[in-house]
Structure 1
Amino acid sequence: MTTLLLVRHGLTAMTGPVLAGWTPGVRLDERGRAQAAAVAGRLAALPLAAVVSSPLDRCVETAESVAAPHSRDAGGTVDKVEIDERFGEVRYGDWTGRPLKELAEEPLWRVVQAHPSAARFPGEDGEAMADAQHRAVAAVRDWNERVAAAHGPDALYAVCSHGDIIKAIVADALGLHLDQFQRIQADPASVTAIRYTELRPFVVRVNDTGGDVAGLLPKPDEGDDGKTGSGASDAVVGGGA
């Protein structure tokens, strides 16, 4: 029952008008730092076993804020923010750093919006959307096993990543084809929660930017169907009950 909290980084000066991608040195602006502090405060009461981040500055800064209340010095179990490049932004290749308004005129833009599983971004380091999803989901599976082995099967951990990566992970958890991932939203500093069981993942919360997070704690007798008191059973076949 490992629970993953996906946190999108806070705002930067490039968030929105420009496709920042892997542009170096893109840090949180004043708004983003306030968002990071706010989401850290919301998650402070949860027993996070680990905090993992994309290597990009805007994510590392957000993750460090989230990790601070859970550090050893604060009585928690987090030694440091762990960096995993697989949670890094999609590699947009030649599109990196270009205004979104300009990119919307490119023929590939419609493919990215309507048929992203067929999209590969141009340029020597351009990445296919399907490859980006594959690496991110593989990273989630690896961290689920690592966190469960070190902290028990009911552990919670946080990953700070990017909008398209978070949406791709959620699509996988929902059993959606990648071509549907644009229907999912992940705002800056939002929290998305996915509970992974042996049976299947359960998407508990998506694009949450406020409110109580106590419900993200797994119940002691919660089973593989995500419901309290139901053990490892599944829904009654036929749905008559």
Structure 2
Amino acid sequence: MSTLLLLRHGLTELTGPVLAGRTPGVHLDERGREQADRVAERLAGIALDAIVSSPLVRCQETAQAVAAGRGLEIHSDERFIECGYGEWTGRKLAELAKEPLWQVVQAHPSAAVFPGGEALASVQHRAVRAVRDWNERLGEKATYLVCSHGDVIKAIVADAMGIHLDQFQRVTADPASVTIIRYTPIRPFLLKLNETGNIALPEQGSADKDGGENITGSDAAVGGGAGTT
């Protein structure tokens, strides 16, 4: 049962007002560096088998804060890079909201293809494929972290939840937030979403704590279970 921690990068000077996309050289600003340090502290008690990152510098810097003192190298994986927003890259969100494509992105993202860029459906396909590959590469007992971008994380969560990509705008991934997904032989379990507070992992196989022994860890507790406290 591979456990994946999805970490969104910290704030940059462009985060919010501008669609940074794949703009090169966008570093964490002072707020983002503080966020990266804080999330590293929050994750300090979790043993990681690997740290993977989007190649963009804001993710690399966030991942480096988590990697410090762990003796782990950061593996760059292009499949976790930000969506290719094409001609939308670098433009203000207030301007983009007036474009006809904006409503498609909001209501039917599975049909959205950015001019000169990438389809959101392609983003989900490459990111989910990357997760499956890393799960297989690291093994079923691995716990690993991937530092990526908001829309990429939301797309992975939508797949894990078994919901259509058109519903992925219902998911939130704030800067420096942690989302945790455990992949079992039958189904993924979304353990935490957009977590910005204290982080602790439930024990593997604990999904059925009060309903008998759960051999595979794939079973959901009927009635909701007793939780992990």
Work out which of the residue numbers 111, 119, 123 in structure 1 matches 2:104. 111
Length, aligned pairs only: 220
Is 1:154–1:218's contact at 8 Å kept on the other side of the alignment?
Answer: no
Is 1:132–1:165's contact at 8 Å kept on the other side of the alignment?
Answer: yes
Aligned equivalent of 1:51:
51
Q: 2:191 matched to 1:204?
A: yes
SS in 1 for 2:24: coil
Q: 2:171 matched to 1:184?
A: yes
Is 2:36–2:62's contact at 8 Å kept on the other side of the alignment?
Answer: yes
User: Mapping of 1:125-144 within 5 angstroms?
Assistant: 126-144=117-135
CA distance in 1: counterparts of 2:70 and 2:125, whole angstroms: 30
Is 1:5–1:192's contact at 8 Å kept on the other side of the alignment?
Answer: yes
Aligned sequence identity (%): 66
CA distance in 2: counterparts of 1:60 and 1:22, whole angstroms: 13
Aligned equivalent of 2:138:
147
5+ residue gaps, structure 1, are: 72-77
Is 1:118–1:128's contact at 8 Å kept on the other side of the alignment?
Answer: yes
Structure 2 counterpart of 1:140, one-letter code? V
Is 1:44–1:69's contact at 8 Å kept on the other side of the alignment?
Answer: no
SS in 1 for 2:46: coil
Structure 1 counterpart of 2:22, one-letter code? W
Work out which of the residue numbers 62, 81, 84 in structure 1 matches 2:74. 81
Is 2:208–2:220's contact at 8 Å kept on the other side of the alignment?
Answer: no
Is 1:44–1:70's contact at 8 Å kept on the other side of the alignment?
Answer: no
SS in 1 for 2:52: strand
CA distance in 2: counterparts of 1:236 and 1:96, whole angstroms: 44
Aligned equivalent of 1:166:
153
- CA gap of 1:236–1:102, structure 2 versus 1, over 3 A, is closer
Aligned equivalent of 1:227:
208
Shift of 1:227: 3.0
Shift of 1:217: 4.5
For residues 189-241 of structure 1, the C-alpha deviation after alignment (integer angstroms, 9 at most, x for no partner) is 00000000111100000000012x22x1534xx17xx334322374699x8xx
- CA gap of 1:100–1:43, structure 2 versus 1, over 3 A, is same
Per the normalisation by structure 1, the TM-score is 0.88
For residues 168-196 of structure 1, the C-alpha deviation after alignment (integer angstroms, 9 at most, x for no partner) is 00000000000000000000000000000
CA distance in 2: counterparts of 1:197 and 1:13, whole angstroms: 39
SS in 1 for 2:68: helix
Aligned equivalent of 1:6:
6
- CA gap of 1:231–1:29, structure 2 versus 1, over 3 A, is same
CA distance in 1: counterparts of 2:19 and 2:132, whole angstroms: 28
Work out which of the residue numbers 215, 218, 224 in structure 1 matches 2:203. 218
Aligned equivalent of 2:16:
16
Is 1:193–1:206's contact at 8 Å kept on the other side of the alignment?
Answer: yes
Structure 2 counterpart of 1:198, one-letter code? P
SS in 1 for 2:141: coil
- CA gap of 1:236–1:30, structure 2 versus 1, over 3 A, is closer
CA distance in 1: counterparts of 2:82 and 2:42, whole angstroms: 24
Runs of at least 4 residues off by over 6 Å: none
SS in 2 for 1:91: coil
Aligned equivalent of 1:75:
none
